[in-house]
Amino acid sequence: MAAKDHLVDVTLTPGGFSDWAHEVSDLADDALQRGGTVTITDPTNERLLTVNVVDDSSPAGNWPDRIRLLFNGAEVTWFNEYGEYRAAPAKNNTVGWRLFVALTPTGYSNRNNTVPVLQVASDRTNRTPLFEVYGDGKVMAAGEVTAPNIGVPIRAVLDHDEQPDNPQPGDIYLVRPEPEA
Protein backbone atom coordinates (compact mmCIF):
# COMPACT_ATOMS: atom_id res chain seq x y z
CA MET A 1 0.00 0.00 0.00
CA ALA A 2 1.30 3.43 -0.88
CA ALA A 3 1.07 6.44 1.44
CA LYS A 4 -0.86 8.36 -1.20
CA ASP A 5 -3.60 5.71 -1.07
CA HIS A 6 -4.22 6.52 2.59
CA LEU A 7 -3.97 10.30 2.64
CA VAL A 8 -6.37 11.27 -0.12
CA ASP A 9 -9.68 12.70 1.12
CA VAL A 10 -9.22 11.47 4.71
CA THR A 11 -11.24 13.42 7.26
CA LEU A 12 -10.89 12.53 10.92
CA THR A 13 -13.90 12.95 13.16
CA PRO A 14 -14.19 11.71 16.76
CA GLY A 15 -16.40 8.85 15.64
CA GLY A 16 -13.98 7.87 12.90
CA PHE A 17 -10.76 7.60 14.89
CA SER A 18 -11.03 3.86 15.48
CA ASP A 19 -11.83 3.31 11.80
CA TRP A 20 -8.65 5.20 10.83
CA ALA A 21 -6.26 3.16 13.00
CA HIS A 22 -5.61 0.65 10.21
CA GLU A 23 -4.74 3.55 7.86
CA VAL A 24 -2.03 4.72 10.27
CA SER A 25 -0.72 1.19 10.68
CA ASP A 26 -0.64 0.56 6.92
CA LEU A 27 1.04 3.92 6.35
CA ALA A 28 3.72 3.13 8.93
CA ASP A 29 4.31 -0.31 7.40
CA ASP A 30 4.62 1.26 3.97
CA ALA A 31 7.08 3.83 5.33
CA LEU A 32 9.28 1.11 6.80
CA GLN A 33 9.26 -0.82 3.52
CA ARG A 34 10.38 2.33 1.69
CA GLY A 35 13.29 3.12 4.02
CA GLY A 36 11.38 4.92 6.75
CA THR A 37 10.27 7.96 4.74
CA VAL A 38 6.76 9.24 4.21
CA THR A 39 6.34 12.13 1.78
CA ILE A 40 3.14 14.14 1.65
CA THR A 41 2.84 16.49 -1.29
CA ASP A 42 0.17 19.11 -1.70
CA PRO A 43 -0.06 20.29 -5.32
CA THR A 44 -2.92 22.68 -4.47
CA ASN A 45 -0.76 24.75 -2.06
CA GLU A 46 -3.49 24.65 0.56
CA ARG A 47 -3.30 24.01 4.30
CA LEU A 48 -2.06 20.48 4.83
CA LEU A 49 -2.78 19.86 8.50
CA THR A 50 -4.73 21.53 11.26
CA VAL A 51 -4.76 20.24 14.81
CA ASN A 52 -7.30 21.95 17.05
CA VAL A 53 -6.71 21.28 20.75
CA VAL A 54 -9.99 21.91 22.57
CA ASP A 55 -9.84 22.85 26.24
CA ASP A 56 -12.27 20.55 28.02
CA SER A 57 -11.39 22.05 31.43
CA SER A 58 -9.82 18.78 32.60
CA PRO A 59 -6.38 18.92 34.29
CA ALA A 60 -3.85 19.42 31.48
CA GLY A 61 -1.34 17.21 33.32
CA ASN A 62 -3.26 14.20 32.03
CA TRP A 63 -3.32 15.38 28.40
CA PRO A 64 -0.86 13.73 26.00
CA ASP A 65 1.72 15.53 23.90
CA ARG A 66 0.00 16.18 20.57
CA ILE A 67 2.86 15.46 18.14
CA ARG A 68 6.10 13.70 19.09
CA LEU A 69 9.39 13.05 17.30
CA LEU A 70 11.52 10.50 19.14
CA PHE A 71 15.20 9.57 19.12
CA ASN A 72 15.82 6.12 20.62
CA GLY A 73 12.42 6.35 22.27
CA ALA A 74 12.95 9.77 23.90
CA GLU A 75 11.18 12.96 22.83
CA VAL A 76 13.47 15.38 21.05
CA THR A 77 10.84 17.53 19.34
CA TRP A 78 7.23 17.69 20.36
CA PHE A 79 4.14 19.80 20.62
CA ASN A 80 2.84 19.59 24.19
CA GLU A 81 -0.72 19.17 25.42
CA TYR A 82 -1.55 22.75 24.34
CA GLY A 83 0.17 22.45 20.95
CA GLU A 84 3.20 24.52 22.09
CA TYR A 85 6.55 23.69 20.49
CA ARG A 86 9.21 22.02 22.65
CA ALA A 87 12.64 20.58 21.85
CA ALA A 88 15.67 19.03 23.55
CA PRO A 89 19.02 17.76 22.26
CA ALA A 90 18.98 14.08 21.31
CA LYS A 91 22.47 13.61 22.76
CA ASN A 92 24.73 15.52 25.13
CA ASN A 93 26.92 16.63 22.21
CA THR A 94 24.26 17.72 19.71
CA VAL A 95 22.39 21.00 19.17
CA GLY A 96 18.76 20.69 20.25
CA TRP A 97 17.46 23.55 18.09
CA ARG A 98 19.27 25.31 15.30
CA LEU A 99 17.99 28.17 13.20
CA PHE A 100 19.84 28.86 9.98
CA VAL A 101 20.25 32.39 8.65
CA ALA A 102 19.80 31.12 5.08
CA LEU A 103 19.42 27.92 3.10
CA THR A 104 22.69 28.33 1.17
CA PRO A 105 26.01 30.19 1.49
CA THR A 106 24.84 32.52 -1.30
CA GLY A 107 21.62 33.14 0.56
CA TYR A 108 23.64 33.97 3.68
CA SER A 109 25.85 36.45 1.81
CA ASN A 110 22.79 38.09 0.28
CA ARG A 111 20.78 38.15 3.52
CA ASN A 112 18.93 41.38 4.27
CA ASN A 113 20.28 42.03 7.77
CA THR A 114 17.63 44.65 8.50
CA VAL A 115 15.14 41.77 8.85
CA PRO A 116 15.51 39.57 11.95
CA VAL A 117 16.07 35.82 11.63
CA LEU A 118 14.39 35.25 14.99
CA GLN A 119 11.82 37.48 16.65
CA VAL A 120 9.83 37.37 19.87
CA ALA A 121 6.85 39.72 19.51
CA SER A 122 4.14 41.02 21.84
CA ASP A 123 1.15 39.32 20.19
CA ARG A 124 -0.19 38.28 16.79
CA THR A 125 -2.10 41.53 16.23
CA ASN A 126 0.38 44.24 17.25
CA ARG A 127 3.62 42.26 16.77
CA THR A 128 5.72 44.72 18.75
CA PRO A 129 9.29 43.33 18.65
CA LEU A 130 10.57 42.45 22.12
CA PHE A 131 13.66 40.42 21.20
CA GLU A 132 15.32 39.93 17.82
CA VAL A 133 18.38 38.18 16.46
CA TYR A 134 19.73 39.24 13.08
CA GLY A 135 21.74 37.26 10.52
CA ASP A 136 24.87 39.29 11.22
CA GLY A 137 24.74 38.38 14.93
CA LYS A 138 23.18 41.63 16.13
CA VAL A 139 20.72 41.21 19.00
CA MET A 140 17.97 43.69 19.90
CA ALA A 141 16.05 43.60 23.17
CA ALA A 142 13.24 45.99 24.02
CA GLY A 143 13.66 45.47 27.75
CA GLU A 144 16.39 45.04 30.32
CA VAL A 145 19.25 42.72 29.44
CA THR A 146 21.10 41.00 32.28
CA ALA A 147 23.92 38.50 32.43
CA PRO A 148 26.10 37.27 35.29
CA ASN A 149 29.28 38.54 33.63
CA ILE A 150 27.98 42.11 33.19
CA GLY A 151 27.86 42.81 36.90
CA VAL A 152 24.99 45.27 36.76
CA PRO A 153 22.17 45.11 34.27
CA ILE A 154 21.97 47.34 31.26
CA ARG A 155 19.07 49.61 32.18
CA ALA A 156 18.11 50.98 28.75
CA VAL A 157 19.10 51.75 25.22
CA LEU A 158 18.90 55.47 24.66
CA ASP A 159 18.97 57.61 21.55
CA HIS A 160 21.94 59.99 21.32
CA ASP A 161 19.90 62.92 22.69
CA GLU A 162 18.04 61.08 25.49
CA GLN A 163 18.79 61.18 29.20
CA PRO A 164 18.10 58.21 31.50
CA ASP A 165 15.18 58.33 33.92
CA ASN A 166 16.24 58.15 37.57
CA PRO A 167 19.83 56.92 37.03
CA GLN A 168 21.46 55.10 39.95
CA PRO A 169 25.19 54.70 40.68
CA GLY A 170 26.54 51.74 38.71
CA ASP A 171 23.75 51.71 36.12
CA ILE A 172 24.84 50.97 32.57
CA TYR A 173 23.09 52.53 29.58
CA LEU A 174 23.73 51.90 25.92
CA VAL A 175 23.52 55.07 23.84
CA ARG A 176 22.93 54.98 20.09
CA PRO A 177 25.35 57.26 18.22
CA GLU A 178 24.16 60.49 16.67
CA PRO A 179 23.13 59.90 13.05
CA GLU A 180 25.52 61.22 10.45
CA ALA A 181 24.30 64.34 8.72
pLDDT at 141 over 90: yes
**pLDDT for 144:** 80
80-135: pLDDT as tens digits = 888 899 999 999 999 999 999 999 999 999 999 999 999 999 998 999 999 999 99
Separation between Cα atoms, residue 181 and residue 179, nearest integer Å: 6
At 7, the pLDDT band (50, 70, 90 cuts) reads very low
Q: What distance in Å separates the CA atoms of residue 75 and residue 69, rounded to the nearest whole number?
A: 6
Enumerate long-range contacts of 81-88, CB under 8 Å, 24 or more apart: 81/53, 82/53, 83/51, 83/53
- What is the reported pTM? 0.57
Nearest to residue 145, comparing CAs of 162, 128, 130?
130
Rounded Cα gap, residues 114 and 132, in angstroms = 11
Range ranked top by mean pLDDT from 6-15, 121-130, 149-158: 121-130
- pLDDT score for 63: 82
Asked if pLDDT for residue 66 goes beyond 90, the answer is no
Which residues neighbour 111 within 8 Å (Cβ) at sequence distance 6 or greater? 101, 102, 135, 136
